[in-house]
Amino acid sequence: MSTAPRLTDQKRQAIIDAAIAEFRQGGFQSTSMDQVAARAEVSKRTVYNHFPSKDALFAEILLQLWQRSMSGAELVYSPERPIREQLLELIGRKLELLADASFLDLARVAIAEAIHAPERAQSMIARFGEKEEGVLIWLRAAVADGRLALPDPVFAAHQLQGLVKSFAFWPQIAMGQPSPNAAERQQIAASSVDMFLAYYQPPQSDQ
């Protein structure tokens, strides 16, 4: 088996990793393809062989961010399982994604560019809105089953995810704090779920 395709894939990923580092350091506008090539330790021609423009390179970074966020299957609501158990699994999956260093690096690049040039990251922001609809779908199924009382499921979905992201996303993105470890993620999940259920779970529903 030829090693050429493998080397090509390695160079491509090296270029993407270099671009992420450069975009994080200087932003999209200030980063040149020369800088990306130098950091990736490849020729500028090699960079352009993989990505015809800086916009194409940025689009690939956003695609990887999207694919990484989709790597875990969505949790399907089950009327047989305890509501708290399901919510803990739902939030646990999200916390695992948010603790991924590569995902956070990609997210920093996308968010920074969304601030400086919203039109460039507009489609990705819309896609992430779609991704987070999985939580909303689950909550609506629980409401339909009479196990949650949510006057506004959309508001409640944002509320639940906000509880998580205030500990396991925004401090890492905005302040460079380390991601929560496994024990801390369990604590965040349990406290967020219990607070959510204390407000929205009907008294007769199971735990």
* Separation of alpha carbons 65 and 150, rounded Å: 31
Do residues 119 and 172 share a domain? yes
Do residues 90 and 147 share a domain? yes
In a domain, 57, yes or no: no
Last residue of a domain, one of 30, 52, 74: 52
Do residues 101 and 184 share a domain? yes
Note the pLDDT of residue 81.
96
Q: Count the domains in the chain.
A: 2
Do residues 33 and 72 share a domain? no
In a domain, 100, yes or no: yes
In a domain, 137, yes or no: yes
Cα angle, residue 179 at apex, residues 174 and 181 outer, rounded to 5°: 160
In a domain, 16, yes or no: yes
Do residues 23 and 75 share a domain? no
* Separation of alpha carbons 65 and 128, rounded Å: 10
- Is residue 36 a contact partner of residue 42, using CB atoms and an 8 Å limit? no
Domain interval for residue 42: 4-52
Residue type, 1: M
Mean pLDDT per 10-residue interval, the chain, length 207 residues = 70 92 84 95 95 90 75 80 96 89 80 75 60 82 96 94 94 92 96 97 74
Do residues 44 and 139 share a domain? no
For residue 181, give the DSSP letter.
Answer: -
Do residues 88 and 173 share a domain? yes
Copy the structure tokens of residue 194.
Answer: 């219990």
Do residues 114 and 159 share a domain? yes
Note the pLDDT of residue 152.
96
In a domain, 143, yes or no: yes
The CATH number of whichever domain residue 158 belongs to comes to 1.10.357.10
Note the pLDDT of residue 1.
46
pTM: 0.75
Cα 131 from chain centroid (whole Å): 9
In a domain, 60, yes or no: no
